[in-house]
Each structure stands twice: as C-alpha cells, then as structure tokens.
Structure 1
Amino acid sequence: MDTGTHIVMGIALAGIATLDPVVTESTATTTSVMLGAIIGSQIPDIDTILKLKNNAVYIRNHRGITHSIPAVLLWPIALTAVIYPFFPGANLLHLWIWTFLAVFLHVFVDIFNAYGTQALRPFSTKWVALGVINTFDPYIFGIHIVGLVIWALGANPGYTFIPIYFLLIIYYLLRFSARRKVYLEVKKMIPDATEIIIAPTMKFRQWRIAVMNKHQFFVGRAVKDEVSILDQFNRVPVPETPVLNAAKKDKNLSAFLSFSPVYRWEIDEYDDYYEVRFIDLRYRSNDYYPFVAVVQLDPSLTIITSYTGWIFSEEKLRKKLEILPG
C-alpha cells in the first residue's frame, strides 16, 4: 500500500489497542503502544530510502528483505527496544505485541497489491502478489479517514475501527470475486493462455490485463467485467547477440529483468550508438507503456548511459538519458 494508507492503518490499530485493558491501565503503556503501532506500520518501507541511490537498487530491493519473515520478527523487537527506555513504566509485552501487529499488518496488506512482497524470504524469493488491491485504494483510505473523524468527534476508537475492519474484510472478498470474474473472462477469450496477470486500478470495476500464450502477448483492460484486448505483440525470444549480451550487464536493465515478468524488447541502431529498450506490458496507460529499461551503448559496446523506471514521455526519457534523440 502507499505511505498514507499505512499511516492511517497504524493510527487505526493504535485506536483498536485501546480495547486492551493492559494498554489503558497506564499513560506510559498507552503512549508507547500508540507510537509502536504508528511507527511499526511504516518501518518495513524504510527501504524506500534506496531511491536516493538509484532506481536499479530500489527496484531490486523494495519490499524485499525488509518485508521478509525475519524482518517481521525483528522489527518489533528493535522498535520496542528503542521506545521502551522513554516509557520505562510501560508494559513491555503489550508494547511488543501491538508493535508486532502493526509490522505484520503492513506486510500482510502489501501482499494484496500487484507489486507484492518477498514475504516468504528466506524460504523463497518469489514475489507474493495477489493483485486484488491497488497500491492506493481510495475506498480503503477513505473509510479510515471516516473512522479518524469519528474518533476525533469523541467516539471510542476501538469500537469505531472494529466494524470498519469487518467491512474491509467484506471489501477484500468482493475484490477477489471481481478479479475472479475477469480471470474467467480472459480465459474464455484466450484459452491457450500460459500466464494471466490482472492488476487492479484505483477504480473498483477497472483492471489492467497482461496475458501470454506460447506465441503472443496480449494487453488489455476490463471495465465492469467486460474484457477488451488493446494491443497484441508477437513473442520474440531475446536473442544472444553481442549488443544484447552487453546491455544485459547493465545494472538498470538487470534490475528491470529481475522485476518484470511480461515485457517486449527493441533495438535501434544510430550513427554512433545502439539503444536497447525493454518495455513492461503490465502498466499500459493512455496508449503508453511507462515502465521501461533503456541502455545505450557505443559502437564498441561500452555502456554510455542507462535508465529504468517510470517515464511518461519520450522527451523526459531523453532527459534522463542525458543525450539528444537519435
């Protein structure tokens, strides 16, 4: 989920914690638990700082080890160790319990996004991505804001958020059902599909679709259970050529390939350089595919420049690459 949603979820959990009689028996425990819930709801995303280094490192590592099983166990211990000295009168066990729940909830809800997490590490490096909830879901965020307003008006926060979370469970089940309908419709249209990727959007009844069979890629969308195929591409295996082999050594392209399961590739040759481009097919937006990796190499196949990330115009891509168009 996005940072804002994780924050309101942390505050909501802090509100639910007030139903714990041990939490409310002392000011120190109440305050420390609220801090633990709010900070714990954010701490797995500390790897966002990797963006300051470069996109390649961020793409390879975001929601990786910081969302793993060891991390879920260690974050609460570390946060409890930091918070407790400021509130020595707090109940240590209940501070740890609510901090653990906050960390666990963060990783758990991220599993439902299309991006997913490596939540099964160290047992598996597979990305767990159920693809039923958009990274920012206005309904989930909105109902939390409603709960916070009710709390601010004087209602009991625990009794406010418990029914809200029951409603959210129903909402998640509805999303699974809606996604299943889209999946079955896609399977009807492309019965020989070998992989079907369905990604949610911010709109409840709209989904992005990327499909593979043995020979083609299909890119489409679903609106109100009606599936439309918008683009089709022949699947062309990436050949073993000197240019492509040299490009694959680039850190940005390598990061892209570690993250993207459905992509097409292009090679352009100019007077004084080659340009290799890999395009993720999962994120079509306004007839454009914004998630790319681009590598430029000189005639001796030395990498000149490269980029991976989200780009919504060719002009901006050229600025990122810092050379003029070919």
Structure 2
Amino acid sequence: MDTGTHVVMGLALGGLATLDPVVASDPATASSVLAATIIGSQIPDIDTVLKLRNNAVYIRNHRGVTHSIPAVILWPLLITGLIFLFYQDANILHLWMWTQIAVFFHVFVDIFNAYGTQALRPFSSKWVALGIINTFDPFIFGLHVAGLFLWAFGADPGFTFLAVYAVLFSYYINRYIYQQRLVKIVKDMIPDATEIIVAPTMRYHQWRIAVMNRHQFFVGRAHRDEVNILDQFDRVPVPETPVLKAARKDENLSAFLSFSPVYRWEMDDHTDHYEVRFIDLRYRSNGHYPFVAVVNLDKDLKIISSYTGWIYSEEKLRKKLNILPS
C-alpha cells in the first residue's frame, strides 16, 4: 500500500489496541503502543531510501528483505526495544505484541497489491502478488480516515476500528471474487492462455488485463464484467545475439527482468549505436506503456547509457538516457 494508507492503518491499529485490557488500563502502555503501531506500520518501507541511489537498486530490492520473514520477526524486537527506552513503565509484552501485529499487517496487506512482496524470503525469492487491491485504494483509505474522525469526536476507538476491519474483511473477499470472475471471462475469451494477470486500478470497476499464450500477448481493460482486448503482440523469444547478451548485463535491464513477468522487447540498429528496449505490458495507460527498461550500446557493444522506470514521453526518456541535453 502507499505511505498514507500505512500511516492511517498504524493509527487505526493503535485505536484497535484499546480493546486490549492491559493497554486500556495503563496510559504508559497505551501511549507506547500507539507510537509502536505507527512506526511498525511504516518500518518495512524503509527501503524506499534506495530510490536515492537509482531505480535499478530500488526495483530489485523494494519490498524484498525488509518485508521478509526474518524482518517481520526482527523489526518488532528493534522497535519495542527503542520505544521501551522512553516508556519504561509500559508493559513490554503487550508493547511487543502490538508492534508485531503492526509490522505483520503492513507486509500482509502489501501481498494483495499487484506489486506484491518477497514475503517468503529466505525460503523463496518469488514475488507474492495477489493483485486484488490497488496500491492506493480510495475506499480503504477513506474508511480509515472516517474511523479516525469518529475517534477524534469521541467514539470508542477499539470498537470503531473493529467495525472498520470487519467491513474491510468483506471488501477484500468481494475484490477477490470480482477478480476471479474476470479471470474466468478472460479464460473463456482466450482458452489457450498460459498466464492471466488481472490487476486493479484506483477505480472499483476498472481493471488492467495482461494475458499470454504460447504465441501472443494480449493487453486490455475490464469495466464491470466487460473485458476489451486493446492490443495484441506476437510473442517473440529474446534471441541469444551478441547485442542482447551485452544489454542483459546492464543493471537497469537486469532489475527490470527480475521484476516484470510480462514484457515484450524491441531492438533498433542506429547508425552509431544500438537501442534495446523492454516494455512491461501490465501498465497500459492511454495507449502508452510507461514502465520500461532501455539500454543504449555502441557498435563495440559497450553500454553507453541505460534507464529503467516510469516514463510517459519519449522526450523525458531521451533526457534520462542523456541523448538530449537536460
């Protein structure tokens, strides 16, 4: 989920914790638990700082180690120890318990996004992405904000957020059923599909569709129960040519390939260089595919420049690749 949603979830868990008799009866524990649920709901995303290095490092590592099984165990111990330094009268067991819930909940809700997490590390580096909830979901965020307003105006926080999460439990089930209904519709349309990705958008009734069979890619959108295929591409295997082999050594392209499950590729042979482009097919927007990896190589197959990330115009891409003056 996005940072704002994790913030309101941290506050909500702090309110929910007041149902714990130990928390409700001890002001020091209540204050420490609220601080812990807010921090615990944010700490797995500390790897966002990797974006300061470059997109390749960020894409390869975001929601990786910091969302892994060891991290989910270690983060609460670290946070509990730090907070206990300031709240030494707090009940440390219940402080740890609610911190553990907050960290686990962060990773758990991220699994339901299309981006997903490597939550099974170190046992598996596979990305776990159920793709039923958008990274920012207006309903989820709005419901939390409504609960916080009720709390601010005197409603019981424990029972308020118990009701909020009961509604959200039903919402998640509803989104899963909706997604599976669309998967069935796509299977009926493309019976020989080998992989079907149905990913949410911010709009409840609109979904992104990406499908593969043995020979083609299909890209489309769904609105309510109507699926429209908007683009079709031949599925061409990446050849083992010297140019492609050299390009795949680039860190930006390598990061892209470690993350993207459905992509096509292009290669242009210019007068003085080669350009290799890989295009993720999951994020079609207004006829454009913004998530790409591009590598430029000279005629001796030395990498000149490269980029991976979200690009919405060729002009900006050229600037990123230092082909146009910035």
Q: Residues 125-153 of structure 1, C-alpha deviation per residue, up to 9 Å, x if partnerless?
A: 11111010000000000000100111111
Give the corresponding residue for 1:154: 154
AA of the residue aligned to 1:239: P
Residue number in structure 2 paired with 1:188: 188
The answer for the alignment partner of 1:221 in structure 2 is: 221
Residue 169 of structure 2 is matched in structure 1 by 169
Deviation by residue 1:140-179 (Cα, 9 ceiling, x = unmatched): 0000010011111111111111011100011111101110
Percent of matched pairs sharing the same residue: 72
Summarize the alignment of residues 124-163 of structure 1 with structure 2, pairs less than 5 Å apart.
124-163=124-163
- 1:111 & 1:303 partners in 2: Cα distance? 35
State the shift of 1:203 in Å. Answer: 0.7
Is 2:7 aligned against 1:15? no
The farther-off stretch of 207-216 and 269-278 is: 269-278
Deviation at 1:45, TM superposition (A): 0.4
Partner deviation per Cα, 1:207-228 (whole Å, 9 max, x = no partner): 1010000000000111011000
TM-aligned CA deviation for residue 324 of structure 1:
3.4
SS of the equivalent of 1:309 reads strand
**Equivalences for residues 79-90 of structure 1 within 5 A:** 79-90=79-90
Instruction: Provide, for residues 261-306 of structure 1, a one-character-per-residue CA deviation record: whole Å limited to 9, x for no partner.
Output: 1100001111211110000000000000000000001111110100
Q: Distance in 2 between matches of 1:135 and 1:161?
A: 21
Q: Which amino acid aligns with 1:232?
A: Q
**Deviations 1:53-86, CA, capped at 9 Å, x for gaps:** 0000000000011111111000000001111011
Any residues of structure 2 matched to 1:64-79 within 5 Å, and which? 64-79=64-79
- Verify: 1:50 aligned to 2:50, yes or no: yes
AA of the residue aligned to 1:253: L
Distance 1:242 1:123 in 2: 35
In structure 1, the partner of 2:105 is 105
Please give the alpha-carbon distance, in whole angstroms, between the structure 2 residues aligned to 1:206 and 1:92.
45
Which of 231-240 and 267-276 deviates more?
267-276
The equivalent of 1:290 in structure 2 is 290
The 5 Å alignment of 1:232-311 reads 232-311=232-311
Q: How many residues align?
A: 325
Report the residue type matching 1:167 in the other structure: V
Aligned to 2:122: 122
Please give the secondary structure, in 2, of the residue aligned with 1:169: helix
Instruction: Work out the CA distance in 2 between the residues paired with 1:15 and 1:324.
Output: 52
Shift of 1:25: 2.3
**TM-score, length-scaled by structure 1:** 0.99
Equivalence for 1:313: 313
Partner of 1:86, secondary structure, is: coil
One-letter amino acid matched to 2:222: A
SS of the equivalent of 1:184 reads helix
- Superposed CA offset, 1:212-264 (max 9, x none): 00000000111011000000000000001111110000000000000001100
Taking only aligned residues, the RMSD between alpha carbons, in angstroms, comes to 0.9
Take 1:19 and 1:233, find their aligned partners in 2: how far apart are those partners?
54
For structure 1, the residue ranges without an aligned partner over 5 or more in a row are none
SS of the counterpart of 2:96? Answer: helix
